[in-house]
Structure 1
Amino acid sequence: MKKIPRIQEIWIIAKNGLHIASSKIKIDKKEIEIDEDMFSGFIAAINVFTFEIGLNKCRVLETKSSKLCFSHYSDLDLTFVAKSTKNIDNSEILSYLEIIKSKIVQKYKKIIKNWEGSVSDFKGISKYIDIEKDKKNWI
């Protein structure tokens, strides 16, 4: 039986919907590629919509077999998103996202505060996600 990764993908998204970084664990060769910019815009729209209707920020979005967990960093207007199988406990995923968020904010805080929209400012950011992924044994 094929071992399914506990966390399959992670995205970091700016408030304006720009895709800053992502990391993916390959499951099989038939992996579906999504447009990261479109996905980031979708997540930003969810955040705006839920706030506009008084629901605050979205924390979890579930489908039949998967879910997306959201961790927000308000000071810098970033959203960290993790895709996982539905059976993983939300608190476990959110705890992992907090670790990722802490590492990235520590390293990139000055860049993010003065950011003018160039994604190239974040070259190498995915390595922080990958390092933590390996430390936590998410597969």
Structure 2
Amino acid sequence: MNVNEALTILKKAGYKYTDKRAIILEFFAKEDRYRTAKDLLTYMEPHFEGISFDTIYRNLHLFDQLGILESTDLNGEKHYQITCANHHHHHFICKTCGTTKEIHACPMDNLSSELDQFIVDDHKFEIYGLCPACQ
């Protein structure tokens, strides 16, 4: 997803375009990996003196709810990245730097017979470890 697509989703949902929201989206589009609220706050402080964690968390939560950002828990802390694709896939996530690698194999393909009487609405599969650069 790019910044313009994300802003379109935001506007269609009835939310205002603001400079803060645009910079948040630019940050995640540029980073292209999982980052924390603290990372975002550090990035935004030079642009918006006195910006609060409340503002950061409120926007991260909104973007996550709207599907603009994806979230995961790493080391007990929530991390976010811009939604990366419109096709089904999963991720390997580096626990040190947040780099992701798409995984196209899906474990649900092997579980369908075990869940034949159930309706699965959604699922999430993530593998955690260290990328080559962090090993």
TM-score (normalised: structure 2): 0.31
TM-score (normalised: structure 1): 0.30
- Bigger relative CO (Cα 8 Å, ≥ 6 apart): 1
